[in-house]
Amino acid sequence: MKRLIAPFVMLLAITFAFVWFALPEPVSRFLLNLNNTSAGLSSKTLTTTIGDIQYLEGGQGETIVLLHGIYARKEHWVDLARELTKRFRVIAIDLPGFGDNQIRQPQQYRLKTQANNLDVVLQSLNIESAHIGANSMGAQVVSLLAIARPEVIKSLAFIGSPLGVTSPIKSEMENALINGNIPLLVKTEADFEQRNNWLFPKTPAIPSPIMKTWMHQELTNSVRNEEIWHAVNDFSDTRTLLEIAPFLSMPTLIIWCQQDRIFHVSGAKTLARVLPNSKLTILENCGHVPMLDKPKEVSEVYLSFLKRNLGN
């Protein structure tokens, strides 16, 4: 019997290794679904007037909606949501045109349009009011919605530095942009690896099939992604977060990482000074997307903020 088991185990290991490296997309889907389930989240599709929207949902209680940044996706919130679903209903959205949603025309990525589209999504989810956690571009988008419809937003949490804040000290990315480089734009495999170095002091341990699948998606859409970059960063018809911040009266949490290379940490106090009802927390040893490299620490800060300000 032992002679039969050993070859079988070896064959199983070889098969597993082949599937792991040769078929990254199906393995990625399996691993992501497994991780979602372990966090108490289910994948769902919402039909709206602007097309189908993919999102994750789980937990019970007051609603928290989580919004990603440019070139990001709902799955980036799962490790943070794992802590939140124990006390809240959590919804992590692929914003229109991002993640697993259909790509949109470049003008649809302008910030004002994105805010209007987010409003459509929230209304289609029958969300009358919610706590909103947002990263980077998502923070600017939801802030525009908060000005237009403040009754929708119970509280705001800027998890990672938000777009739309001018820092006293230029960030490394801002200096790169002056020299004609866009560090977050991926056109080659080398760009993808380098972009992770821009986002994290140390890249989180994400299984290789998932990383390969996400990289392939970005490489496939590299031309449109460059158009998206310019649409998102055009403020010609939109006020910046720093300009509208004095009018945001809801409780607001700012979580900014000391090692953020995308937007310099000096902008954190600038934003906190003009937000009338804000709390600032600066975390160490994390980058632009702390829900990925510091999910436990972020969840503790966020849950404390909710408990202190909202009685949860």
Look up residue 144 and give its two tokens: 């525009």
Distances, alpha carbon 62 to alpha carbons 42, 58, 90, 147, in Å: 17, 11, 8, 22
**Which residues contact residue 2 at a Cβ distance below 8 angstroms, ignoring those fewer than 6 apart?**
none
Give counts: helices (H), strands (E), the chain: 13, 8
Dist. CA 118–CA 215, nearest whole Å: 26
pLDDT tens by residue, the chain, 312 residues: 545 454 544 444 444 444 455 667 888 899 999 999 999 999 999 999 999 999 999 999 999 999 999 999 999 999 999 999 999 999 999 999 999 999 999 999 999 999 999 999 999 999 999 999 999 999 999 999 999 999 999 999 999 999 999 999 999 999 999 999 999 999 999 999 999 999 999 988 889 999 999 999 999 999 999 999 999 999 999 999 999 999 999 999 999 999 999 999 999 999 999 999 999 999 999 999 999 999 999 999 999 999 987 654
Element (H, E) at 120: helix 111-124
Q: Count Cα atoms within 13 angstroms, Cβ side, for 144.
A: 22
pTM: 0.93
Q: What interhelical angle do 208-220 and 24-38 show, nearest 10?
A: 120
> Hey, what's the torsion of the CAs at 23, 26, 30, 36, to 10 degrees?
120
Dist. CA 187–CA 194, nearest whole Å: 11
Look up residue 181 and give its two tokens: 């480089």
Give the pLDDT score at 3. Answer: 53
Q: Count Cα atoms within 13 angstroms, Cβ side, for 177.
A: 13
Distances, alpha carbon 250 to alpha carbons 43, 98, 143, 194, 309, in Å: 30, 27, 11, 37, 10
With CA atoms as reference, report the closest residue to 98 among 140, 69, 58, 133: 69
Give the pLDDT score at 21. Answer: 57
User: Number of folded domains in the chain?
Assistant: 1
Dist. CA 298–CA 129, nearest whole Å: 22
Any idea what the CATH number is for the domain that residue 193 is in?
3.40.50.1820
- 282 φ/ψ angles, rounded to the nearest 5 degrees: -105, 120
* Structural domain of 155: 2-310
Is 258:282 a contact under the CB 8 Å cutoff? yes
Query: Could you please report the per-residue DSSP string of 36-80?
Result: HHHTT-EEEEEEETTEEEEEEEE--SSEEEEE--TT--GGGGHHH
3-state secondary structure 135-193: EEHHHHHHHHHHHHCHHHEEEEEEEEEECCCCCCCCCHHHHHHHCCCCCCCCCCHHHHH
